[in-house]
Amino acid sequence: MTTIPNSDAQVPDRVAIVTGGGSGMGAATSRLLARNGARVLVADLNAEQGSAVVDEIVADGGQAAFTRVDVSNEDDVAGMVATAVEKWGRLDWAVNNAALPPDSAPIVDLDIATFDRIVAVNLRAVALCLKHELRQMVTQRSGSIVNLGSVSSVKARAHNSAYVATKHGVVGLTKTAALEHGRDQIRVNAVLPGGIDTPMIRAVREASGVTPPDEFGLSLFGRLGTPEEVAEACLWLCTDRSSYVTGHSLAVDAGFLAR
Ligand SMILES: NC(=O)c1ccc[n+]([C@@H]2O[C@H](COP(=O)([O-])OP(=O)(O)OC[C@H]3O[C@@H](n4cnc5c(N)ncnc54)[C@H](O)[C@@H]3O)[C@@H](O)[C@H]2O)c1
C-alpha cells in the first residue's frame, strides 16, 4: 500500500500562516483553518484588524496569534516564519494572500512608483514568503502552500497592468516552487478568485465607479463570491485531501474563466 506523505491524520494540530489574514479572504481562511484544528498565525500590516481576527478565533475555541508583517520586507517575512516555528514548532500550511488592490491607469499613463509598489507587495513578496516558508518545510520534508492569484492571473483587464502582471507572475512562482519541491513532499498551488465581496473589491468599485451590473458580469451566477467560498478552496489545497495536487491553479470564479 502506498503511504501518502504529509498526512494530516499523522499530525492533527497543523501550524498555518495566513498573510493578509486581517481582512477579506485572508480573515475567512484564518477562521476556517482554525475551525479545522490548525494553529493559525494571522500575519498582516494592519495590527488592529489582524488582532480582531485572532480574538474571534480564540473566542470560537480555536488557537491563533497575530504577527505584524510587511510582506514586501524580507526581514519581516523571515521573522514571520520564525515566529510560527518558535511558537508552535513547525510550519505545515501557508496561505500567501496579502496584496494591494489593482491599479487603474492605462499603460501610457503608467505611474512607475505605483507599479513598483504593487510588484513589491503582490509578486516580490510572494517570492519572499515562498523562500522562507519552503526553507522551514524542507527541514520537515512536508508542507502545503497556497498562493492567491486571481482571474487576472489568466485574463488581462484594461488599466490594471501592474495587478495583471503580478497575478500572472504568482502562477509562475507557484509552478516553479512546485517543480523544485515535489521531491521534498511539499505541494504548492494557487487559488484564482473571481469577483469576491471583500474590502478590496469595494475599494475598486469606489475608485472606478463600476456599477453592480458590470460587477455581476464577473460571474455566471450574477453575484459576487463570498470570502468563505474561497477559504474552502484554500483549506482543501492545504489539507491532504488534495494530496496528489501540486503546481495547480484552481479558479474559484463562478465560471468567469469558462467564457
Ligand atoms: N476581492 C476580489 O475580488 C479578488 C479577486 C481576485 C483576487 N483577489 C486576491 O485575493 C487576495 C485577498 O484579497 P481580498 O479581497 O481579501 O483583500 P483585502 O483588501 O480585503 O485584504 C488584503 C489584506 O492584505 C493586507 N496587506 C496589504 N498589504 C500588505 C503588506 N505589505 N504586508 C502585509 N499585509 C498586507 C491588508 O492589510 C489586508 O488585511 C489578494 O491576493 C487579492 O489580490 C481578490
Segment 9-42, tens digit of pLDDT = 555 689 999 999 999 999 999 999 999 999 999 9
- pLDDT value, residue 13: 87
Mean pLDDT value across residues 228-237: 98
User: Using one digit for the tens of pLDDT, what is the confidence trace for 83-108?
Assistant: 999 999 999 999 999 999 999 999 99
**SS3 helix, strand, coil % of the chain, rounded to 5?**
50, 15, 30
Which residues lie across from 110 on neighbouring strands? none
| pTM score, whole prediction | 0.96
Q: Kindly list the distances between the CA atom of residue 155 and the CA atoms of 45, 110, 152, 190, 195, in Å, as whole numbers in the listed order.
A: 29, 20, 5, 15, 13
- pLDDT value, residue 204: 81
- pLDDT value, residue 194: 96
* 127 CA distance to ligand 1 middle (Å): 16
Measured by CA distance, the residue closest to atom 40 of ligand 1 is: 99
Tell me if 196 CB under 6 Å of ligand 1: yes
* Number of Cβ within a 10 Å radius of residue 173: 20
Region of poorest pLDDT, from 45-49, 75-79, 160-164, 218-222:
218-222
Using CA atoms, how far apart are residues 14 and 16, in angstroms rounded to an integer?
6
pLDDT mean across residues, the chain: 94
Percent of the chain with pLDDT over 70: 93
User: Using one digit for the tens of pLDDT, what is the confidence trace for 156-211?
Assistant: 999 999 999 999 999 999 999 999 999 999 999 999 999 999 999 888 877 777 66
Measured by CA distance, the residue closest to atom 25 of ligand 1 is: 20
Q: Which residues are catalytic?
A: 163
15-252 placed in CATH 3.20.20.70: no
Domain boundary assignment for the chain: 15-252
Tell me if 21 CB under 6 Å of ligand 1: no
Which ligand 1 atom sits nearest the alpha carbon of residue 28? Answer: 16
Q: With 90 as the cut, is the pLDDT of residue 130 above it?
A: yes
The conformation of residue 219, written as its DSSP 8-state character, comes to -
* 26 CA distance to ligand 1 middle (Å): 7
- pLDDT value, residue 214: 67
Mean pLDDT value across residues 111-140: 98
- pLDDT value, residue 49: 98
- pLDDT value, residue 198: 95
* 1 CA distance to ligand 1 middle (Å): 42
Measured by CA distance, the residue closest to atom 10 of ligand 1 is: 148
- pLDDT value, residue 126: 99
* 239 CA distance to ligand 1 middle (Å): 22
Core vs surface per residue 157-168: b (16+ CB within 10 A) or e:
eeebbbbbbbbb
Tell me if 198 CB under 6 Å of ligand 1: yes
Mean pLDDT value across residues 75-83: 99
Can you read off the three cell numbers belonging to residue 113?
512608483
* 23 CA distance to ligand 1 middle (Å): 7
Percent of the chain with pLDDT over 90: 86
At 7 the three-state DSSP class reads coil
Tell me if 97 CB under 6 Å of ligand 1: yes
Tell me if 201 CB under 6 Å of ligand 1: yes
